[in-house]
Amino acid sequence: MGFTGYENKDAGSWSTAKDTYNSFGNNRGKSAFFNDRGNSSRGRFEHGGFGGGGGNSRWVEEPRDDGDWSKPTPRNERLEHELFSGSNTGINFEKYDDIPVEATGQNCPRHIESFQDVDMGEIVMGNIALSRYTRPTPVQKYAIPIVKSKRDLMACAQTGSGKTAAFLLPILSQIYTDGPGEALNAAKASGQVSNGKYGRRKQYPISLVLAPTRELALQIYDEARKFSYRSRVRPCVVYGGADIGQQIRDLERGCHLLVATPGRLVDMMERGKIGLDHCKYLVLDEADRMLDMGFEPQIRRIVEQDTMPHKGVRQTMMFSATFPKEIQILARDFLEEYIFLAVGRVGSTSENITQKVVWVEESDKRSFLLDLLSATGKDSLTLVFVETKKGADALEDFLYREGYACTSIHGDRSQRDREEALNQFRSGKCPILVATAVAARGLDISNVKHVINFDLPSDIEEYVHRIGRTGRVGNLGLATSFFNDKNGNITKDLLDILVEAKQEVPSWLESLAYEHQHKSSNRGRSKRFSGGFGARDYRQTAAGGNTGGFGGRGGRNQTGHGGTRGFGGGGFGNFYTSDGYGGNYSHSQVDWWGN
């Protein structure tokens, strides 16, 4: 493929690699390494690395801080296979014109059309080719030149549109061009460096990426490993719930790019394991979540109350699919002369996701879910969101008793169990994952065909992120939400989202939203109003006079499921199978990027 110039450099020095291996082996007490490398590789094979889901072994590139950072290190076939064999294929990138893009701020650099339009250097271009990325996604077209020209950035782009690479590629390319610079000098000055290698105590990452959940941190770390293949950059990840000792040992081997959840990072800083004095690039992924009430104090602690370079000195980048106005205002505290980039409307959903909202009474939810699951293709993954951890456990048990291979992920499960659950889901061993909001943001799992909101969330941002687990990078997805009296607070926002994404809107939802608005604008009148038109009545209206209702098993067959068949048309099962949501559906893609 198109990464010529890469292969020929294999010749790398075996003796150097061997020396490196030996010195590492000696330093390491109970050695986790063994000599199992390809001839020309520089690195080591490591057992039981954390985050690998227990017992995994992985190849670890040996970082060397001396030498020319812009030149690729020797190729390693085993590592290459490990990093890139799961890379996506067959994404349909045609011309992309019609998603509105807003880029505001002074002297905004021009966007690119292809990866070749900007000089990202040999290493990055090689890894892009290995990842089989043929062209940049919309957010990448704009964000890459902005980041390359050292500007602060607040970027909003839809779920699944490639935001991770939009920051990793330009940051890494910049690090390869500039070399370790001050970070290495600082380490040297403090007497922690010998023979051009980082010492064992404190690490000074050049780039820090913060993420809200452990699983997301791991996923970003995995992407960073891909894009730092054949470079001298060593990425690391730290997050709570896992053995800190192991993470410290990993850091001690060198850390140039750190992916972290805030709590564990603060811990590492307080233990003197990480210094942010030379952090040139700061990224907040899922930035609106990172700056909301739960995380904001920790972010300020990391960014403002420690040794991190001030804004304007460091480069700060924020990414999310949603960005409520009040959080945008708060975010300005951390940015200097930034560019605001919105690809599509902020908080909008991808039109690749077919969104269905169905009225289901609380007591009918389980049987309704069973119907949905039985109509879902066997080889596709279904993600079911519930509101509480208890609810997740209960639903998992229920589905298990009904004979479904399912698992669950939520905050009360151990980190090990969480990772295990995610792996089983990803691999299709358990094609149903019951989850709380911990799985709502950022997770990129291919083949999730159906997201079911068993319980709807109370805010619309959460909804956008949840359904964004499907319909990623040009694939089609389906999202079904169970709605009832309890979900009044999301009615209006949900309606707006459906209309904007050109989805079928149930008429009862429209009526409810109308009522809701009325209620808030005129309390006295709304009382009378809602007395006369309870939610129940809307539901019947929605069924187009078909009083079978949406709740009971019997009714469903008559009422249909909205969508193309309309109410009272084909049965529920029909909708999901013969309309293409069963079989063919799983392979179809739309040209998200393009026309």
**228 in contact with ligand ADP (CB under 6 A):** no
Q: Which is nearer to ligand ADP, 169 or 430 (CB)?
A: 169
251 closest CA partner among 301, 201, 286: 201
The conformational region for residue 565 under phi > 0 = left, psi -120 to 50 = alpha, else beta, is alpha
Q: In what order do the strands lie in the sheet with 339-343?
A: 101-104, 339-343, 153-157, 315-320, 281-285, 207-210, 257-260, 235-238
Torsional sign, CA 355, 576, 384, 167: negative
Closest approach, Cβ 225 to ligand ADP, in A, equals 13
Between the CA of residue 285 and those of 164, 291, 328, what are the distances in Å? Answer: 8, 10, 14
Q: Which is nearer to ligand ADP, 86 or 297 (CB)?
A: 86
Question: 412 forms bridges with which residues in the sheet?
Answer: none
H-state helical runs in 52-162 = 77-84, 121-130, 138-148
**231 in contact with ligand ADP (CB under 6 A):** no
> Which one of residues 40, 57, 88, 557 is an interface residue with ligand ADP (CB under 6 A)?
88
Closest approach, Cβ 285 to Mg ion, in A, equals 6
- Alpha-carbon distance of 277 to 189, in angstroms, equals 13
**290 in contact with ligand ADP (CB under 6 A):** no
Residue with tokens 């909202």: 357
Q: Are 317 and 152 in contact (CB under 8 A)?
A: yes
> Which one of residues 60, 83, 91, 224 is an interface residue with ligand ADP (CB under 6 A)?
91
Q: How many CA atoms lie within 13 A of 214 on its CB side?
A: 24
Q: Which is nearer to Mg ion, 442 or 471 (CB)?
A: 442
Only segment of 17-25, 36-44, 363-371, 437-445 that touches Mg ion (CB under 5 A): 437-445
The conformation of residue 537, written as its DSSP 8-state character, comes to: H
> Which one of residues 6, 21, 69, 133 is an interface residue with ligand ADP (CB under 6 A)?
133
Q: Hey, is 363 helix, strand or coil?
A: helix
**212 in contact with Mg ion (CB under 5 A):** no
**468 in contact with Mg ion (CB under 5 A):** no
Closest approach, Cβ 409 to ligand ADP, in A, equals 17
Q: Are 271 and 263 in contact (CB under 8 A)?
A: no
Identify residue 499 by its one-letter amino acid code: V
**162 in contact with Mg ion (CB under 5 A):** no
Which of the listed partners (Mg ion, ligand ADP, none) does 278 bind, with a CB threshold of 5 to 8 Å by partner kind?
Answer: none
**442 in contact with Mg ion (CB under 5 A):** yes
Which of the listed partners (ligand ADP, Mg ion, none) does 473 bind, with a CB threshold of 5 to 8 Å by partner kind?
Answer: ligand ADP
Q: Which is nearer to Mg ion, 156 or 381 (CB)?
A: 156
**163 in contact with Mg ion (CB under 5 A):** yes
Which of the listed partners (Mg ion, ligand ADP, none) does 162 bind, with a CB threshold of 5 to 8 Å by partner kind?
Answer: ligand ADP
Torsional sign, CA 126, 129, 135, 138: negative
**444 in contact with ligand ADP (CB under 6 A):** yes
Number of shown-chain residues binding ligand ADP (CB under 6 A): 17
Closest approach, Cβ 136 to ligand ADP, in A, equals 5
Task: Classify burial at 68, counting beta carbons within 10 Å of its beta carbon; exposed 0-12, middle 13-18, buried 19 or more.
Answer: exposed
**136 in contact with ligand ADP (CB under 6 A):** yes
**466 in contact with Mg ion (CB under 5 A):** no
> Which one of residues 37, 64, 141, 163 is an interface residue with ligand ADP (CB under 6 A)?
163
The pattern of x and - marking residues 167 through 196 that bind Mg ion according to CB under 5 A reads ------------------------------
**415 in contact with ligand ADP (CB under 6 A):** no
**164 in contact with ligand ADP (CB under 6 A):** yes
Q: Are 310 and 277 in contact (CB under 8 A)?
A: no
- Alpha-carbon distance of 387 to 362, in angstroms, equals 13
- Alpha-carbon distance of 515 to 17, in angstroms, equals 71
Only segment of 162-170, 196-204, 550-558, 582-590 that touches ligand ADP (CB under 6 A): 162-170
> Which one of residues 41, 73, 161, 174 is an interface residue with ligand ADP (CB under 6 A)?
161
Stated as kind and residue range, the H or E segment containing 462 is: helix 460-467
Closest approach, Cβ 231 to Mg ion, in A, equals 22
- What are the phi and psi torsion angles at 328 (to 5°)? -60, -40
Nearby residues of 184 by Cβ (< 8 Å), 6 or more positions away: 65, 193, 198
Closest approach, Cβ 162 to ligand ADP, in A, equals 3
H-state helical runs in 277-388 = 287-290, 296-303, 325-331, 365-374
**159 in contact with ligand ADP (CB under 6 A):** yes
| Binding to ligand ADP in span 448-507, by CB under 6 A | 472-473
Closest approach, Cβ 142 to ligand ADP, in A, equals 13
Closest approach, Cβ 65 to ligand ADP, in A, equals 29
Q: Are 453 and 487 in contact (CB under 8 A)?
A: no
Which chain residues interact with ligand ADP by CB under 6 A? 88, 91, 133, 136-137, 140, 157, 159-165, 444, 472-473
Which chain residues interact with Mg ion by CB under 5 A? 163, 442
